[in-house]
């Protein structure tokens, strides 16, 4: 997002509105529903305070993802589904629990890749790891999810 520094206030506000939606979706997989609003607020507060630093970044939303994640880090598994929800339309019923049981790096990588449609390069930049490490996390996560949910990988046949 080069030129962020030169943007008008209205353009920066539009960036923040877009970033808020993308961050909320991405951070649910990293910090869970209980802390996602706090994580998004922390990330966007940082964005407003550090607008000039953000201007030179190639993936400002990825960086803000990391800010939000680190500001609300807690050592327990995130809750990925709202309390009381027993069925999600078009989602395998065991998927939320299976996702929550994954190691954090795998859960976040597979969530961003498949749940949010981020490229491995964007995930790598946001997490501060290499693209090949992201690919490994996603592959291992998918293998564990398939095994836990009893799903056959049609590409492996």
Look at residue 18 in the predicted model and tell me its pLDDT. Answer: 93
Q: What is the pLDDT along the chain (157 residues), one digit of tens a residue?
A: 444 555 688 888 999 999 999 999 999 888 888 889 999 999 999 999 998 888 888 899 999 999 998 888 765 555 655 555 555 567 778 888 898 889 989 999 999 999 888 999 999 988 889 999 999 999 999 999 999 998 876 665 5
Look at residue 116 in the predicted model and tell me its pLDDT. Answer: 86
Asked if residue 110 lies in contact with residue 92, where contact means CB atoms within 8 angstroms, the answer is: no
**Residue 96: partners with Cβ closer than 8 Å, 6 or more residues away:** 80, 81, 88
Look at residue 78 in the predicted model and tell me its pLDDT. Answer: 59
Q: Which of 30, 26, 31 is nearest to 61 (CA)?
A: 26
Look at residue 2 in the predicted model and tell me its pLDDT. Answer: 42
Query: The tokens of 137 are what?
Result: 């996390």
Look at residue 155 in the predicted model and tell me its pLDDT. Answer: 65
Region of residue 128 (phi > 0: left; psi between -120 and 50: alpha; otherwise: beta): left
All domains of the chain, ordered by start, with CATH? 4-156 (1.20.140)
pTM for this structure? 0.61
Look at residue 136 in the predicted model and tell me its pLDDT. Answer: 97
Query: The tokens of 80 are what?
Result: 């990925």
Asked if residue 155 lies in contact with residue 95, where contact means CB atoms within 8 angstroms, the answer is: no
């Amino acid at each position: 997002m080069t030129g962020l520094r030169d943007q008008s206030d209205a353009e920066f506000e539009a960036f923040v509105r877009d970033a808020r939606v993308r961050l909320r979706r991405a951070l649910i997989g990293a910090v869970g529903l209980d802390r996602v609003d706090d994580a998004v607020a922390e990330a966007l507060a940082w964005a407003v305070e550090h607008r000039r630093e953000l201007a030179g970044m190639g993936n400002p939303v990825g960086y803000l993802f990391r800010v939000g994640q680190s500001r609300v880090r807690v050592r327990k598994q995130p809750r990925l589904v709202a309390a009381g929800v027993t069925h999600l339309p078009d989602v395998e019923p065991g998927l939320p629990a299976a996702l929550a049981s994954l190691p954090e790096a795998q859960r976040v990588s597979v969530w961003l890749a498949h749940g949010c449609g981020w490229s491995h390069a964007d995930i790598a930049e946001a997490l501060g790891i290499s693209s090949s490490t992201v690919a490994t996390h996603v592959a291992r996560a998918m293998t564990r999810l398939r095994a836990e949910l009893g799903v056959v990988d049609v590409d492996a046949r």
